[in-house]
Amino acid sequence: MTTSMIRMGMQVDAWKQDLGDFYRARIVEMDDSLIFIHYEGFPPDQADWIHLSDIRRPLANNNISKPNRQHSSINALTASTKRRRKESLQQIDDPNQHQQRQWPHLQDEKGDGDDQGGGKYGPKGRESPLSWKDYATFYYTQEGTKARHHTGLVQDRRMALHSCPCHSKEFAHPERPDRLSSILQQLHNERILRYVKHLHGREATPSELSKAHTIQHIHNYTPPEQEGNKEIMKVTSIAALLNPTPPPKTLRGIGGGVVTTETTTATTQDGYLLPSHRNRLLPNDENITTTSTTTSATTPMNVKLTYPPDLVCQMACGELGIAVDTTFHPSHSSVSAKVAAGSLITLVDAIVQGQLHNGFALVRPPGHHAEDDAAMGFCFFNNVAVAALSTLDKYPTQIKKILIIDWDIHHGNGTQKIFYDHPNVLYISIHRWDHGEFYPHTGAPDECGVGDGVGRNVNIALSDDDSQSRPMGDPEFVAAFYHIIVPIARQFNPDMIFVSAGFDAAAGHPENLGGYIVTPRGFSLMTKLVMDLAQELCDGKLVLTLEGGYALQPLAVSAAASVAQLLRPTSSSNNDDDYRHTLNSVKPNQGCVTSLAKCIQIQQSHWQFDADLLSPSCRFHLPLHWHASEAILTRPKRDKRPIKVPMVEGY
């Protein structure tokens, strides 16, 4: 029998845990003993990290025996394995060294007579061998190697497990697994996935979470020690113990709903589930699983369930939620939230250690609304806060100051609260405020920090003006960057930049969740502005992490525009070399002008601004040569017929 060699792009039979069978797949990336697999004929969000022992060489007779073992978690990595990662990256990049590595378990072998599905493909069938050959060729080129050492993309299928237990086909929750799959599909369509280094996620540890959250909050969103088939543990907060009869509290949802706790029964205030919901919140056997998950859809009684005390609001779909409309699945949401935070930490580590230049964390649930002791606004753990504080703690000589820029349309109340007195973290948020009428009703321009953190909190709070002719869009957001964010960032001089990259300011979102009209080009320009800033101030150390964005098509194209901008300049034609002719208008609307002037009026006590920005007559115009040569009003009418997107095969 001939021994096969691992090579990127090669076809294998790979075990697909959720379907319990082997399927034809392609090797996309490798990290020591783990392999990133794209299953042929399946959408890109089905790609997964699996163990070497879970792949076999394709057999012509389709007889492949199922491995007689339990599929362990990818998180069960030894310390020595982690230490070898950097060396393994160098070996993979060198095809000569790589071909010398032998994997005996990939040898030809006869099946045991049981048809376990070798040679099966996904719904779209077999993919073009020529396309994958092209990927393999690119992978081992100098350009391919440089691309993978420039931009990282972290993803983990466990984050798709978080969903509402209702599984309703009639009611679509805004924060849903489709958000990740739509972005990955867009990256695939634009052939961006071949230009990034794929990283696998992990769960954040309790120690890491405790840097930003209280022990009680972590406990509330951690599965109890007993198994799910035993009696459910009642989780009670310290506040509930001290105040047996809590005062009425108004809860506001990100979608606009309002609930007052005095109208809620006592059984829901202290953390118990309504009796009618107990059975409906058990694990569903149709949920997504992966070899890296800690749960099994086929053995629901082994799943540890979590019932946080804030799970008290009955949502429109009929299930219980947190803070009015934040969905929670007792068997999956806690794991997904920890993986979101841990995945961002993994990406940041790779950037700080010099393995990558920048990266995008494709994570959910989002985090910037999560406070140190409360979940809300679709967020459970504050991913950016956890990662930033972990970075300051782990790399005290390299990373002493961190800048967090938040361009989600909603103010990051959780991030602001956690860093409100922190002298070494500067938080700048540009968000829709509407004089405090827009969710989460925080983020006023005069909220500047307290104690040692005074001046380290900058709120660019946008409010409409009755005389403005259009909603906030590209000129308004870019003007905020150009006139306020960039000058302040230069004075702060951070060692690393984080971006809470929400895309709910994108055109196409409903009024209650967005209402602005930022385009993919606008997000691309903001990404470039931050990239140039990072290159100037901190050797390019930059990480973007997904926050909001709920209209799938605008979310996907906007996120893809930002990722494309992160790539090496020669890697993709989507990069804008400069800012010339990029905006349809260089004049922000009146509401933006008033909002920027108010922000500068307050922040001039903490930061220096050019004299012309302090003038009452300042209109915050952008450079004239940034104006597009062909304005949108003079362009030909857009063909409204559906555009057929050609099927893209391979990475």
Question: Residue 44: is its pLDDT beyond 70?
Answer: yes
- Would you state the pLDDT for residue 491? 98
- Would you state the pLDDT for residue 231? 38
Q: Kindly indicate the confidence band of residue 71, based on its pLDDT and cuts at 50, 70 and 90.
A: very low
Question: Residue 4: is its pLDDT beyond 60?
Answer: no
Measuring CA to CA, which residue among 379, 268, 284 is closest to residue 328? 379
78-92 tens-digit pLDDT: 444 444 444 444 444
- Would you state the pLDDT for residue 579? 87
Report percent pLDDT > 70 for the chain.
74
93-133 tens-digit pLDDT: 554 444 434 444 444 333 333 333 458 999 999 999 999 99
Question: Residue 306: is its pLDDT beyond 50?
Answer: yes
Measuring CA to CA, which residue among 350, 358, 355 is closest to residue 532? 358
Catalytic residues: 369
Question: Residue 524: is its pLDDT beyond 60?
Answer: yes
- Would you state the pLDDT for residue 641? 53
- Would you state the pLDDT for residue 224? 73
CA distances in angstroms from 617 to 594, 597, 611, 613, listed in the order given: 11, 10, 11, 9
Supply angle C-alpha 262, 264, 265, rounded to 5: 110
Question: Residue 432: is its pLDDT beyond 70?
Answer: yes
Measuring CA to CA, which residue among 118, 16, 113, 116 is closest to residue 66? 116
- Would you state the pLDDT for residue 467? 78
- Would you state the pLDDT for residue 168? 78
Question: Residue 234: is its pLDDT beyond 60?
Answer: no
Measuring CA to CA, which residue among 418, 351, 350, 430 is closest to residue 384? 418
CA–CA separation, 527 and 541 (whole Å): 13
SS percent in the chain: helix, strand, coil, step 5: 35, 15, 50
CB 151 within 8 A of CB 197: yes
| Mean pLDDT for the stretch of residues 244-254 | 57
Question: Residue 567: is its pLDDT beyond 90?
Answer: yes
Question: Residue 431: is its pLDDT beyond 80?
Answer: yes
- Would you state the pLDDT for residue 170? 79
Q: What are phi and psi of 376, to 5 degrees?
A: -170, 165
- Tell me the torsion sign for CA atoms 227, 228, 229, 230: positive
Q: Kindly indicate the confidence band of residue 222, based on its pLDDT and cuts at 50, 70 and 90.
A: confident
Q: Kindly indicate the confidence band of residue 270, based on its pLDDT and cuts at 50, 70 and 90.
A: very low
CA–CA separation, 394 and 390 (whole Å): 6
Question: Residue 8: is its pLDDT beyond 50?
Answer: yes
- Would you state the pLDDT for residue 6? 85
Question: Residue 302: is its pLDDT beyond 80?
Answer: no
320-378 tens-digit pLDDT: 999 989 999 999 999 999 999 999 999 999 999 999 999 999 999 999 999 999 999 99
CA–CA separation, 253 and 256 (whole Å): 5
- Would you state the pLDDT for residue 248? 52
Of 217-221, 267-271, 335-339, 459-463, where does mean pLDDT reach its minimum?
267-271
- Would you state the pLDDT for residue 134? 94
Which CATH class name applies to 1-64+83-95+118-140?
mainly beta
Question: Residue 20: is its pLDDT beyond 50?
Answer: yes
| Mean pLDDT for the stretch of residues 233-240 | 38
| Mean pLDDT for the stretch of residues 415-430 | 98
Of 279-293, 483-497, 517-531, 621-635, where does mean pLDDT reach its minimum?
279-293
- Would you state the pLDDT for residue 572? 47
Of 117-121, 254-258, 578-582, 633-637, where does mean pLDDT reach its minimum?
633-637
- Would you state the pLDDT for residue 32? 77
- Would you state the pLDDT for residue 252? 66
The segment with the largest mean pLDDT, out of 31-40, 166-175, 191-200, 632-641, is 191-200
